[in-house]
Amino acid sequence: MIPFLRLIRIKNLMAILIAMLGVSYFLHKQNPFEVIDFHPFHYGMLICSTLIIAAAGHIINDYFDLKADRVNKPNSMVLTKYMAKRWAILANWILNILGFLMAVILSLHYDTLIFVFVHLLSINLLWFYSAYWKRKLILGTAVLSALPGLVLFLSCWFFQVLNEKHSYFSSFKEATWSTYLDYRFIYFVAICAFFINLSREIIKDIHDIPGDQLIDAQTIPRKIGTRKATLMALVILQLPAIFYLLLKLLTDFSLPTTYTSWILSMLEGIFLVGLAAFFMAPALLQKFIRWIPTIALILGLTCLYF
């Protein structure tokens, strides 16, 4: 059981679960006096289908990464050691079909194609990333970095489908009433998650160079060198702060709580220290750089709860 949990990346799945629950909690907490249409069972089905498809994506990624993983992480391999390759393909198909069927049920129930479209898109992106795009410069990294943010967008779209009615309004028919919620902060978190995951993937590729050379994967560190790739990853981590400042200057966007302000300020401080360490203490930076994006993602998700 434990090897299978490693195969499906249980830690990543827990992050998806916390993120989707966080969206629901945030919207209810920020709108205590609004009548929000919400179906817990259907939202649970959406979470379950998303987790299943993500697990299938992790399995197929390991399937296509076998050659590189024998070099990069020989002691933590699951396929061929605990599970045959053919069972991995079967598990991928079964999980994808289950997740997609749940999306079909939700789409039919709410008369929308959004759930089918997003899940079908995710299945194909994860497959093509694992089979082809991972070896392409920038494309694979960008696709994989965008998928976690898509989870937050999907959660918001669930609430929009349930609350924003498109039928002719009648004060006598409750089914035609609409509730318009403010999703801007969640979208902000999703876009910041893209930048942080992009940095995280570049840092990961730096450590995976030996295996990537074996399969001729054209990653950013192989193309421009590890030092420039490290600097690029640290510069990308500054983009959430720049994005926030632009939103403040151009719109009326504001952070929802004092806790969120403190967390984002602290994270930007960590990012700036990391950038300074690149020039002043590179050896020390190499010991901790892999933790910087991970810590940022964890603390960022807590802003949906506090």
- Vertex 300, ends 295 and 301: CA angle to 5°? 105
- 123-137, 221-235, 275-289, range with the lowest pLDDT: 123-137
> Is the pLDDT confidence value at 132 over 70?
yes
* 66 and 198 both lie in a single domain: no
| Predicted local confidence at residue 157, as pLDDT | 94
> Domain for residue 177, yes or no?
no
> Domain for residue 281, yes or no?
yes
| Predicted local confidence at residue 193, as pLDDT | 94
| Identity at 102, one-letter amino acid code | M
Q: Give the pLDDT mean for 222-245.
A: 92
* 241 and 202 both lie in a single domain: yes
> Domain for residue 13, yes or no?
yes
Q: Rounded CA gap, 295 and 279, in Å? A: 22
> Domain for residue 301, yes or no?
yes
* 197 and 152 both lie in a single domain: no
Tens digit of each residue's pLDDT (9 = 90 or more) over 34-69 = 778 889 999 999 999 999 999 998 888 877 776 666
| Predicted local confidence at residue 170, as pLDDT | 46
Q: What percent of the chain has pLDDT over 90?
A: 53
| Predicted local confidence at residue 230, as pLDDT | 92
> Domain for residue 175, yes or no?
no
> Domain for residue 161, yes or no?
yes
Q: What percent of the chain has pLDDT over 70?
A: 89
* 159 and 187 both lie in a single domain: no
* 305 and 269 both lie in a single domain: yes
* 14 and 146 both lie in a single domain: yes
- Residue 43 sits in a domain whose CATH number is 1.10.357.140
* 204 and 260 both lie in a single domain: yes
CB 257 within 8 A of CB 245: no
Out of 114, 139, 169, pick the residue that ends a domain.
169
DSSP, res 83? B
Q: Give the pLDDT mean for 125-147.
A: 84
* 165 and 196 both lie in a single domain: no
* 142 and 223 both lie in a single domain: no
Domain count, the chain: 2
Range of the domain at 277: 183-306
> Domain for residue 290, yes or no?
yes
Beta bridge partners of 83: 79
> Domain for residue 174, yes or no?
no
Out of 169, 198, 233, pick the residue that ends a domain.
169
Of the chain, the end-to-end C-alpha distance in Å amounts to 34
* 107 and 38 both lie in a single domain: yes
> Is the pLDDT confidence value at 80 over 60?
yes
* 154 and 194 both lie in a single domain: no
Out of 124, 146, 169, pick the residue that ends a domain.
169
